[in-house]
Amino acid sequence: MRPWIMWAFTALFFAYQFIIRVFPGLCVSELMQKFQIDATEFGLLSSMYYYGYAGVQIPLALLLDRFGPRLIVSLCCCLCSVSVLLFYWATDWYVVLFARFFMGVGSAAGFLGTFKVISLWFPLPTYARMFALTNTVGLLGAVYAGKPLGSLISFYGWEKVFLMLGIGGLIFAGLIFLIIKPYKLSSFQETPSFCKNFQSLFSMPILFLIALGNLLMVGPLEGFADVWGIPYLMEIYPFTKTDASFITSSIFTGMIIGGPILAYFSEKFKASFQVTALCGISMAILFAIMLLSEGTLSYMALFIMMLVVGILCCYQVLIFSMGASIVPSEMRNVTIAFLNCINMAGGIFFHTLIGVLMDIFWTGGISEGQRIYDATSYKYAIGIIPVAALTGGILFLSLKRLEKNGAVQLIPLLQKS
């Protein structure tokens, strides 16, 4: 049972970081009021998490190989929790940005640390099952950060809830350190090979095109579900914060069941590129319907639409599969780290751009010295999500066409690997 207990605690940290990640979306107006910021600055605040998360993916992979998950995951959990407490106590805007950045740095060990525990203490044939279980636990954290956490914030206030999360994280960091087995320190003999493989990525433009398509299509998850969906729904519809957070969290609920569904169709029809393209185009259509309806959709219709969007967001499973399948086996770890880095960089792109667009289309409303954003601002700002998703879907269709015409050599690489 020891491996399962170790996996459980690292997977729970993966769920914890999901709660920290989506928390600002539950208290947009409160944060903007406290720090007297506009939508552009709030977009910067949200994106700082992704700067930290994406920036340490590859260095953290090296540290986990060198020192093992016991030390690195517990330290990262501690860093994340201390950053939460710093955010809670901060009054200076730059300290707040600094704290949000290091929340992202600490959170990066959630997925990678669990991956390391699985690779060290579980047999190879169980990897796929364990990755699926890990993904489910992590997404349950995101779901919990929806309606249940929204209810707690409405009852106790966001500051008290955030304080409890910070203190709980510190306790959890200590438990991780006590429970995970010590790791025999390795040498840096494999580091040159890792760096060489990273350099080899630059000789494969196809990986950059796949990463670009992924970044463009991640908006429904990292732009809408993480932050901007709740204030948008509360502005357009007569929803409470609890109801709006429940609808947006249904995206994460859809992701729990979406991975196996998309993987099945991709493998059955041997059409990873086409299925991924269909996901991007379908997400664009669903978001266009939501935006053009201008508040006429029912609560249940929105819930079902966002649940379907969550299923479609699992195209990321196919992205990682594509990347791993077109490179030699020794390059797969660095390829996954690279693709995950670009994937999280999508949060930087969408949060920043949505915030800027909201200020561009701001109609001049002010209340108590704070900007008020109406339906028009949200409509045009969030409109970037379906436009980008459609562009990403078309890009994957183009990649498949290029491969079919021989302009992109994917098949030889697949056979070689």
Q: What is the pLDDT of residue 192?
A: 54
CA–CA dist 18, 215 (Å, integer): 19
pLDDT of residue 413: 42
> Are both 1-186 and 192-417 of the same fold?
yes
* pLDDT for the residue 416: 40
Cβ-based neighbour number of residue 303 at 10 Å? 18
Give the helix ranges, DSSP H, for 23-108.
Answer: 28-35, 39-55, 57-67, 69-89, 93-107
Per-residue pLDDT 10s for the chain (417 aa) are: 888 999 999 999 999 998 998 888 888 888 988 888 888 999 999 899 999 998 898 888 888 878 889 999 999 999 999 999 999 999 899 999 999 999 999 999 998 888 888 888 888 777 767 777 887 888 888 877 667 887 888 888 889 999 999 999 999 999 999 999 887 765 444 455 666 666 777 778 888 999 999 999 999 999 999 889 999 999 999 898 889 988 998 998 898 888 778 877 877 777 888 999 999 999 999 999 999 998 899 999 999 999 999 999 988 878 877 887 787 766 776 787 788 888 889 999 999 999 999 999 988 888 777 788 888 899 999 999 999 999 999 999 988 776 665 555 543 344 343
Instruction: State the pLDDT at residue 236.
Output: 92
| Helix 384-405 vs helix 205-217: crossing angle, to nearest 10 | 150
Q: Which residues, in sequence order, are CB contacts of 346 under 8 Å at separation 6+?
A: 50, 214, 215, 216, 218, 219, 222, 223
- Give the residue extent of every domain in the chain: 1-186, 192-417
371 has which bridge partners?
366
The pLDDT of residue 169 is 94
Q: Are 223 and 350 in contact (CB under 8 A)?
A: yes
Nearest to 393 by CA among 275, 274, 280, 271: 280
Please tell me the predicted confidence (pLDDT) of residue 135.
79
The helix (H) or strand (E) run that includes residue 371 is strand 370-371
- Is-contact 173 50, C-beta < 8 A? no
Going from the C-alpha of 154 to that of each of 141, 147, 160, 169, 299, the distances in angstroms are: 19, 10, 11, 22, 20
Structure tokens at 113: 């640390």
| 8 A C-beta contact, residue 134 and residue 11 | yes
- The CATH number for 192-417, chosen from 3.40.50.1970, 1.25.40.10, 1.20.1250.20, 3.40.50.10490, is 1.20.1250.20
Maximum separation of any 2 CA atoms in the chain, in Å: 64
Fold classification of 1-186 is Growth Hormone; Chain: A; (1.20.1250)
On whether the pTM is more than 0.85, the answer is no
| 160, 37 Cβ separation under 8 angstroms | no
Could you give the CA distance from residue 193 to residue 110 in angstroms, rounded to a whole number? 25
Which residues pair with residue 367 across a beta bridge? Answer: 370
Three-state secondary structure call for residue 366: strand
Task: Return the CA Rg of the chain.
Answer: 21
